[in-house]
Amino acid sequence: MNKKRILIILSMIIAIFAVAYYAWSSYAVPKEEMVAGNRSGTPALWKISHKDDDKAGHAYLFGTVHLLPDGINWRSASIEQAMEDSDILYVEVVGLEDTDKVAKIFTEMGIKKGLPPIEKRIDPKLKPKFDMAMKDVPVPAFVLDNMKSWTAALTIASASSAKLGLKQDQGVDHILIAQFTSQQKPIMGLEKLEEQFGFFDSLNEEKQREMLNSVLSGTGKSREGFEKLMTAWLKGDVSGLLSEKGDDMLSVPEIREKLLDGRNRNWVNILDKQLQNNQKIFVGVGAAHLAGDKGVVQLLADKGYKVERVQ
């Protein structure tokens, strides 16, 4: 796996990853370790419509990044117009602002007594990396002993994202929700909170540990990888969002199916129903979900919809 990609992959495929940021967001971040902000770009935007002109429904598809540094300007005139032309916002999940509820679900699903100590669940060769990573997690290592392996992986990865200066309130989803809320337009979730945690929880222990080891292997390397792929996102370079070399965690078929491909198919069924009902919607989901021949854009094209790249 390409360990430099682990944070960007998580921040482009799963909304709950952004919530874990809150746990570590109050800690000081050395400027030299932060991802550079104050950049502008035009991320990819598509319009999906009926080939039959008699049907008025349409969907704008916009790939989001759930965590971003300060000063990233992605709000182009095309995006503003797309939001104006849409009556409903669809995001991956709603309710992330209810941190008490999120914490309750996280605890119920992610904590389990009687597990092997966390250090027994990692590759012995990664012990130095584990020790390094734990310097960014402001709790003792034994606290992770009662966490399932996927929970520990997200905890360590989210601490790393805070170290890079990435913020949930700068994330695209957060800003989209605020915009539609201010216009009193409804906001819908494609999934429930329990489902998002469940994608990780349904992985067998072997795959959970593989994910954990991948996070640890990327310790100290995440900044370069995040900046490279964030640049691709800002340029609208969809092909650059997913590795074509099979060298990241999505190269593991079971993980890819749980976190990406299976969810794409479910979402397309939901969006298809909305389009058939002539709804005008704006869809903001992790950017990786829109890329590739199994992405949401292509799947809607396969259903016979007209696909237009707006920017």
Residue 2 pLDDT > 70 = no
Chain centroid to Cα 109, Å, comes to 19
Residue 6 pLDDT > 70 = no
**Confidence class for position 81, pLDDT limits 50, 70, 90:** very high
Amino acid at the residue 90:
Y
Mean pLDDT computed over 55-77: 92
- Report the pLDDT value the prediction gives residue 157, as an integer from 0 to 100: 83
Residue 297 neighbours by CB under 8 Å, 6+ apart: 46, 48, 61, 290, 291, 307
Domain range summary for the chain, segments of one domain joined by + = 3-23+42-309
**Pick from 223, 307, 251: which is nearest to 7 by CA?**
223
Q: What is the pLDDT of residues 23-60, one digit of tens each?
A: 444 444 445 556 667 889 999 999 999 987 667 789 99
Residue 5 pLDDT > 60 = no
- Report the pLDDT value the prediction gives residue 179, as an integer from 0 to 100: 96
- Report the pLDDT value the prediction gives residue 182, as an integer from 0 to 100: 97
Rounded Cα distance between 16 and 165, Å, is 18
- Report the pLDDT value the prediction gives residue 31, as an integer from 0 to 100: 53
Mean pLDDT computed over 291-310: 96
Q: Is the pTM of this model over 0.85?
A: yes
Q: Which residue has 């795959």 as its token pair?
A: 207
